[in-house]
Amino acid sequence: MAFLDLDGLRLHVQRLGPQDGRPPAATAVLLHGLLTDSLASHYFTLAPALAAAGVEVLMYDQRGHGRTGRPPSGYRLEDFVDDLAGLLDRLAGDGPVHLLGNSFGGTVAFSLAARRPARVAGILAVESEPASPAWAAKLDGILRRAETELADESTLAWVAAQRGAHTARLARSAGRLLAGTSLARDIPASRLPTEAQLRAIRCPVLAVYGTESDLADQAAWLEELLPRCRSTFVPGQEHSVLVEAPGTVLDLTLAWLREHGAPLRGPAARVGQDLEGSLR
């Protein structure tokens, strides 16, 4: 476990890398989603296998989440993007990196690519979308509802009964985050990238959706918006693709990294090689 100070924010960072002493095949930064998510969702799914394939993996708890500091304010999208940019400047050298974003983590990745395109080799976005006025309005409704519901003990009791104690603990932590910070008001008030800035993103993008997710309907729009975007769909899944189908997401990630020049190695590399053709 390590902590990085970024302008007064104590950022919890985990770093996994190749164990064979050879230079990394690529650098991947894994970005988690809002409220109930943390770097743990990547640590227990993609990260170890990526490191075993020769990838330098950086993960961190986004502001307000996990073991990272929880300031009372400062939760606009641009604040999250500033954190990512600062992390890259401190820990990832000068070259471009691959960004793997789950849900809101993908939104942060798209925004960094719009701001600093030379820093981004590619984006793999799982159940995610770029920030837009429609995105801000949707998040406003979701966060306002969550702020009310997660403060209600009867709601938390229902979550525990229906989804288990672990999910209930995550929901309770999310409720504390919303109650103790300005996040629910800051996110909808974020400074959004313009459509022209998004259209200027030229790095390759793989958008992964669950077939049963509401976001799957945006695939054609995103492919039209981003000139190098391609979509793939995980059958039978809703929004929690990473948690519910981690093996599939890992296989897609390895194949995508190989396709874009990462010389993967070890047993996992064979999986990426086998699937690479199916992504073309």
- On whether the CB atoms of residues 129 and 106 are closer than 8 A, the answer is yes
Determine the Cα–Cα distance for residues 72 and 213; give it in Å rounded to an integer: 32
For domain 2-130+194-279, the CATH superfamily is: Alpha/Beta hydrolase fold, catalytic domain (3.40.50.1820)
pTM of the full structure: 0.94
- On whether the CB atoms of residues 37 and 102 are closer than 8 A, the answer is yes
- Which tens digits make up the pLDDT trace of 215-236? 999 999 999 999 999 999 999 9
Which pLDDT score is estimated for 93? 85
**Average pLDDT score, the chain:** 93
Domain boundaries, the chain: 2-130+194-279, 132-189
pLDDT at 128 over 80: yes
Indicate left, alpha or beta for 34 from its phi (over 0: left) and psi (-120 to 50: alpha).
beta
159 vs 134, which has greater pLDDT?
134
Interior CA angle at 184 toward 179 and 187, to 5°?
150
